[in-house]
Homo-oligomer: A and B are copies of this chain.
Amino acid sequence: MEKILKEWEAELRLNGFRITHPFRDVMEVIISSPKPLSPMEIFSKVRDHNPQIGLVTVYRSIEKLEQLDLLDHIHHINECQTVFPSAKAHKHLIICEKCGRSTYLDGLEIESEFKNISKEAGYEITGHWLQLSGLCEECQ
């Protein structure tokens, strides 16, 4: 978590953003969460040890991190505003449907199959979006 935080801060500084205390608090909460969080969830976690934080700051922090592709928006049934540190390479997310714990998986190679099927439908594929759901070790 310290490692990712350092990376994020470096990237932010490179792009002219400033690292303030409230902003760092938001980043720490996001990075140390095992599951995607909504703006309100982030707000409430940050407030636990920084009571004067404003919800607006959470929204604006998310906005900056998204601009630099450091965050992914995670879509789930009835929940499409949660964020999670982004996958660097081409990975896919698996979410525990009970507790929300999430991880990026590596090694799924499915592109070639997509291409064939899509051609039949007349589409030229440019990207895909795959998310798995299941039960994590603890919840099984």
Contact = CB atoms under 8 A, between A and B. Distances in A.
Interface of A: 73, 75, 77, 80, 94, 96-97, 103, 105-110, 113-114, 117-118, 121-137, 140
Nearest to A125: B134
B114 A132 contact: yes
A123 B137 contact: yes
Nearest to A104: B121
Contact of A134 (B108, B127, B130): B127
Nearest to A81: B80
20 contacts: A75-B80, A94-B121, A94-B123, A96-B123, A108-B114, A110-B110, A110-B113, A114-B132, A118-B132, A118-B134, A122-B136, A123-B135, A123-B136, A124-B135, A125-B133, A126-B134, A127-B132, A128-B130, A129-B131, A130-B131
A69 to B, nearest CB: 12
